[in-house]
Chains A and B, each alone.
Chain A
């Protein structure tokens, strides 16, 4: 059983590397509409993958994506003019990880409900704090971001983050941590009784996920050119990431990937045609996903694939 699995994995890794190389060539073909769309898709793939990294195996629904995304963007606005870009990125990752660490330490020792509630208001809380800080100490709420970085470079960095997210998910899945998390997701009491330090495993993984999302925020920040708390901590981001990951299926590593692409296209369509009803329509789409695709598209596909194989065998 184990050996053929490994062969399949080798094929999967080789195929994803080839796909990544192919995708990386996109800016050479087009640098207008398609590149912009690809940047949106890549940023959401990276965030949804990072979200599912934690929320998929543990069943702890994180509603705080916007908090990490916005904090990453704010690190850029604060440091980009003085520090070199790699340093800015490291700082964003550290801020994201610390924020996740603090959230995790406060709530993840307790039941999942506390975590959900804490994450629910987190983006709003940080938005208030940033607004307060800026009005008190810097005088103006908004900030301009002057970073000379091309759209293609942003795209490549996002692809890199997608690759890191997918690789991290794959590596964690094979590690003791991944096994521990699956046990926690199935039954936390059993996990605790079999000697798993459940709080530590959860906090660790949430920090990785938070750092990745903050990095996406940092890479995307130059696209905004002007940021203010209202834009950076937009609750829509949390909402969209959850819906995309669920649509694709949070239990599988490639699930969010499958969910993001149709959803981004749908969103562009809705936002273009019904600009005043985006919230309402997305809410309805979200409910449809929760009710009718509980396992996600990847769950469907896997079931269909198994059926197909069953017939041919």
Chain B
């Protein structure tokens, strides 16, 4: 029983980690708290669903299409919708309020578009739905594959941020946008790139989740909430913290779903959130401000 829960939560945590890393990039670098993140996730899930059912393109292949598309769309969103707010804001607090409101509006626009297209029904499709045995228990192959892809993408991101020149520039903007500008880093461009990359990661998580999850058009809020809490629990702006927190959250959620009631997963999420706020508001990896 315990091994099942443990393995299942690790497999689930992969997709959560991608989404949370996306969000932490957006908030840490672009300084935008993206409340529409869950809608990006669901959008990608629906994209994979459509490609699979209409054109028989598997979700792993469709990643090649969906992730760059999410990158491009969100680059445009940042460029046309959010950067005017960045320029208008007199200080960080004002930008926070404005970006919350703008992405909150965006949430309803994207959700509305999905509701108009798909209605409120639940969707799922069957891909790689055969059992594999791990540690003596059987799990869906789709979950294992999704975790493998998530781990690869996360590793790629880690090396990209820490071992490349542009990755270093992005981290510099996260630390101090003004100082980054002084050393000839194009800050608006780096912010747009980080925002778009964050959404691309989220979209990747969405496509992977769609392989084994039943979803509908208005589920985005719950995922945004999970990702936000993972980001805070991990320490804002720290991808390593996001990964650890993602697995913790997946573990608590799987435990609650298995031992108490599957309808209480959000309550489990909030419990972790409140504990974080009470005992370690700066997050697991964050330093005290």
Cα–Cα, bound, A1→B270 (Å): 50
- Determine if A25 is an interface residue (Cβ-Cβ < 8 Å): no
Cα–Cα, bound, A107→B264 (Å): 22
Are B277 and A106 within 8 A (Cβ)?
yes
Cα–Cα, bound, A107→B270 (Å): 12
- Determine if A277 is an interface residue (Cβ-Cβ < 8 Å): yes
Cα–Cα, bound, A77→B265 (Å): 25
CB-contacts of A123-138 with B (<8 A): 124-125, 128-129, 131-132, 135-136
Complex interface bits, B104-139 against A, C-beta within 8 A gives 1, otherwise 0: 111111111101100000000000000000000000
Known interface pairs A59-B97, A235-B221. Does A287 touch B109 (Cβ–Cβ under 8 Å)? yes
Cα–Cα, bound, A59→B96 (Å): 10
Cα–Cα, bound, A125→B266 (Å): 6
The one of B107, B115, B266, B281 in contact with A121, judged by C-beta atoms closer than 8 angstroms, is B266
- Determine if A280 is an interface residue (Cβ-Cβ < 8 Å): yes
Cα–Cα, bound, A113→B110 (Å): 23
Are A114 and B266 within 8 A (Cβ)?
no
Cα–Cα, bound, A304→B239 (Å): 49
Are B116 and A277 within 8 A (Cβ)?
yes
Closest to B111 in A: A279
Are B101 and A284 within 8 A (Cβ)?
no
List the one stretch of B8-16, B56-64, B144-152, B223-231 in contact with chain A: B223-231
Residues of B near A282 (CB, < 8 A) are: 108, 112
Cα–Cα, bound, A156→B160 (Å): 63
Could you tell me the distance in whole angstroms from the C-beta of A188 to the nearest C-beta in chain B? 8
Could you tell me the distance in whole angstroms from the C-beta of A129 to the nearest C-beta in chain B? 6
- Determine if B222 is an interface residue (Cβ-Cβ < 8 Å): yes
Cα–Cα, bound, A49→B219 (Å): 30
- Determine if B20 is an interface residue (Cβ-Cβ < 8 Å): no
Residues of A near B105 (CB, < 8 A) are: 283-284, 286-287, 290
Cα–Cα, bound, A278→B98 (Å): 23
Could you tell me the distance in whole angstroms from the C-beta of A191 to the nearest C-beta in chain B? 13
- Determine if A20 is an interface residue (Cβ-Cβ < 8 Å): no
Could you tell me the distance in whole angstroms from the C-beta of B28 to the nearest C-beta in chain A? 12
CB-contacts of A223-276 with B (<8 A): 235, 239, 242, 246, 276
Residues of B near A106 (CB, < 8 A) are: 274, 277-278
Are A290 and B277 within 8 A (Cβ)?
no
Are B116 and A132 within 8 A (Cβ)?
no
Closest to A107 in B: B277
Count of interface residues, chain A, beta-carbon cutoff 8 Å = 40
Count of interface residues, chain B, beta-carbon cutoff 8 Å = 44
- Determine if A299 is an interface residue (Cβ-Cβ < 8 Å): no
Could you tell me the distance in whole angstroms from the C-beta of A138 to the nearest C-beta in chain B? 14
Are A281 and B222 within 8 A (Cβ)?
no
Are B108 and A279 within 8 A (Cβ)?
yes
Are B261 and A132 within 8 A (Cβ)?
yes
Cα–Cα, bound, A135→B93 (Å): 42
Residues of B near A172 (CB, < 8 A) are: none
- Determine if B35 is an interface residue (Cβ-Cβ < 8 Å): yes
Residues of A near B232 (CB, < 8 A) are: 114, 117
Are A280 and B112 within 8 A (Cβ)?
yes
Residues of B near A128 (CB, < 8 A) are: 263-267
Residues of A near B274 (CB, < 8 A) are: 106
Could you tell me the distance in whole angstroms from the C-beta of B119 to the nearest C-beta in chain A? 8
- Determine if B273 is an interface residue (Cβ-Cβ < 8 Å): yes
Cα–Cα, bound, A136→B115 (Å): 31
Closest to B33 in A: A113
Complex interface bits, A87-128 against B, C-beta within 8 A gives 1, otherwise 0: 000000000000000000011001011101110110011001
Could you tell me the distance in whole angstroms from the C-beta of A22 to the nearest C-beta in chain B? 35
Could you tell me the distance in whole angstroms from the C-beta of B129 to the nearest C-beta in chain A? 28
Could you tell me the distance in whole angstroms from the C-beta of A231 to the nearest C-beta in chain B? 14
- Determine if B100 is an interface residue (Cβ-Cβ < 8 Å): yes
The one of A107, A112, A121, A132 in contact with B263, judged by C-beta atoms closer than 8 angstroms, is A132
Are B225 and A116 within 8 A (Cβ)?
no
- Determine if A61 is an interface residue (Cβ-Cβ < 8 Å): yes
Cα–Cα, bound, A120→B225 (Å): 7
- Determine if A3 is an interface residue (Cβ-Cβ < 8 Å): no
Are B228 and A281 within 8 A (Cβ)?
no
Are B97 and A124 within 8 A (Cβ)?
no
Residues of B near A131 (CB, < 8 A) are: 263
Could you tell me the distance in whole angstroms from the C-beta of B233 to the nearest C-beta in chain A? 11
Known interface pairs A59-B93, A114-B277. Does A242 touch B104 (Cβ–Cβ under 8 Å)? yes
Beyond the given pairs A121-B266, A128-B266, 14 more chain A to chain B contacts, judged by CB atoms under 8 angstroms and listed by A's residue number, are: A110-B281, A117-B225, A117-B232, A120-B35, A121-B225, A121-B228, A121-B270, A129-B264, A277-B112, A279-B108, A280-B112, A280-B113, A290-B101, A294-B98
Residues of A whose CB lies within 8 Å of any CB of B are 59, 61, 63, 106-107, 110, 112-114, 116-118, 120-121, 124-125, 128-129, 131-132, 135-136, 235, 239, 242, 246, 276-284, 286-287, 290-291, 294
A-B contact pairs, 29 of them (CB 8 A): A59-B93, A61-B101, A106-B274, A112-B96, A117-B225, A117-B229, A117-B273, A118-B273, A121-B221, A121-B225, A121-B270, A124-B225, A124-B266, A125-B266, A128-B266, A129-B264, A131-B263, A132-B261, A278-B112, A279-B109, A281-B112, A283-B106, A283-B111, A286-B101, A287-B81, A287-B109, A290-B98, A290-B102, A291-B102
Residues of B whose CB lies within 8 Å of any CB of A are 33, 35, 81, 84, 88, 93, 96-98, 100-102, 104-113, 115-116, 221-222, 224-225, 228-229, 232, 261, 263-267, 269-270, 273-274, 277-278, 281
Which 5 A/B pairs are nearest by Cβ-Cβ distance?
Answer: A280-B112, A279-B112, A283-B108, A283-B109, A121-B225
